[in-house]
């Protein structure tokens, strides 16, 4: 079983490429979600720079794992905010473009910590061959890709690029809330790449009923077994306080969650993916990678904002405290 002391074994043995978005998040507390025609009072928490891929890049950086970050940076008000924040984070993006501004979103956080996003796209969803040529392509790398980019207007351009790679790579896909927007043809092309898929409870249930066409009550363990049998592809299923399950060609199992007091779920799934990638880049087993992802996500949901992934020392202290209190 993975322990806090195993954080010392993290090392960037395999290259990591993080492809996706760096956008501005305007985060506000909402006592409830608005109804059509309503006008609700919000309490602004702050203006942060986020995006799934950036949250992953931050988690990797703070865990000491180097990565090539393909986060398009444009020109405009939002892009200026993003650039300034990336400098503060110590994060470098390999992509620059003059085709527009970066995107932004309004994140509404309800009292139980659940979040709802209203998003405006920018250059992070304007992929083309010229932009993609600027991404380093070392062999045997892990590539992270978010469903937000896959379901953008240039999603097929990203898949074309993946299919045309000449250097060996392994793919981690986090479909996220856009899973339902991925068409059958696009889904088939993605699965032909044999990716490791990571999904939360809602996304897992959608795959169970829609992709595996099951009418029975959702069963996470059966989902993983049937998924691997049908697609010959690895999977991680995150079920909040119930922990996370995993399956790949070598093993399958369940890793308990690291209990915590949930304050804000923004960035939890992204940070879990960052923990997964940190373990995968270190050559760890999928079981240990999931345990690391659980620990990182546990810390993140106990904090405000999506950019709060811990460094190794902070995570070690937090993890040790949670174990002691169990």
H or E element in which residue 164 lies? none
The side-by-side arrangement of strands in the sheet containing 23-29 is: 43-50, 23-29, 104-109, 115-120
Q: pLDDT tens, position by position, for the chain (326 residues)? A: 899 999 999 999 999 999 999 999 888 999 989 899 999 999 988 888 988 999 999 999 999 999 999 999 999 999 999 999 999 999 999 999 999 999 998 989 899 888 888 989 999 999 999 999 999 999 999 999 999 999 999 999 999 999 999 999 999 999 998 999 999 999 999 999 999 999 999 999 999 999 999 989 999 999 999 999 999 999 999 999 999 999 999 999 999 999 999 998 888 999 999 999 999 999 999 999 999 999 999 999 999 877 899 999 999 999 999 988 76
- Among residues 283, 326, 269, the alpha carbon closest in space to that of 59 is found at 269
- Provide the Cα torsion 65, 254, 314, 60; round to 10°: 20
pTM for the complete prediction?
Answer: 0.92
CB 94 within 8 A of CB 70: yes
Q: How many CB atoms lie within 10 A of CB 206?
A: 15
- Provide the Cα torsion 318, 203, 229, 287; round to 10°: 0
Question: What domains can be seen in the chain, in order of their start residue?
Answer: 4-21+51-102+123-325 (3.40.1190.20)
- Among residues 293, 169, 317, the alpha carbon closest in space to that of 238 is found at 293
CB 98 within 8 A of CB 72: no
């Amino acid at each position: 079983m993975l322990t806090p002391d195993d954080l010392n074994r993290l090392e960037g043995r395999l290259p990591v490429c993080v492809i996706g978005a760096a956008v501005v998040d305007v985060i506000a507390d909402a006592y409830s979600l608005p109804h059509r025609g309503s006008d609700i009072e919000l309490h602004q928490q702050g203006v942060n720079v986020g995006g799934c891929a950036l949250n992953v890049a931050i988690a990797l950086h703070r865990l000491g794992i180097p990565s090539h970050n393909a986060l398009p940076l444009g020109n405009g008000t939002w892009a200026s905010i993003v650039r300034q924040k990336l400098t503060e984070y110590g994060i470098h993006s390999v992509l620059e473009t003059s085709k527009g501004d970066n995107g932004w979103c309004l994140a509404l956080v309800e009292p139980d910590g659940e979040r709802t996003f209203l998003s405006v796209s920018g250059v992070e969803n304007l992929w083309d061959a010229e932009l993609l040529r600027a991404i380093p392509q070392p062999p045997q790398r892990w590539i992270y890709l978010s469903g937000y980019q896959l379901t953008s207007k240039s999603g097929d351009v990203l898949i074309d690029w993946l299919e045309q790679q000449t250097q060996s790579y392994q793919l981690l896909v986090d479909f996220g809330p856009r899973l339902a927007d991925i068409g059958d043809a696009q889904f088939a092309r993605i699965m032909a790449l044999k990716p490791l898929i990571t999904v939360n409870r809602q996304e897992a249930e959608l795959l169970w009923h829609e992709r595996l066409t099951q009418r029975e009550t959702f069963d996470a363990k059966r989902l993983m077994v049937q998924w691997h049998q049908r697609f010959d592809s690895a999977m991680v299923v995150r079920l909040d306080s119930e922990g996370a399950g995993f399956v790949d060609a070598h093993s399958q199992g369940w890793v308990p969650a690291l209990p915590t007091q949930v304050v804000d779920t923004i960035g939890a799934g992204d940070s879990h993916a960052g923990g997964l990638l940190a373990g995968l880049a270190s050559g760890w087993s999928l079981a240990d990678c999931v345990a690391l992802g659980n620990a990182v996500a546990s810390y993140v949901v106990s904090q405000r904002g999506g950019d709060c992934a811990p460094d190794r020392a902070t995570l070690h202290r937090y993890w040790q405290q949670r174990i002691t209190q169990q």
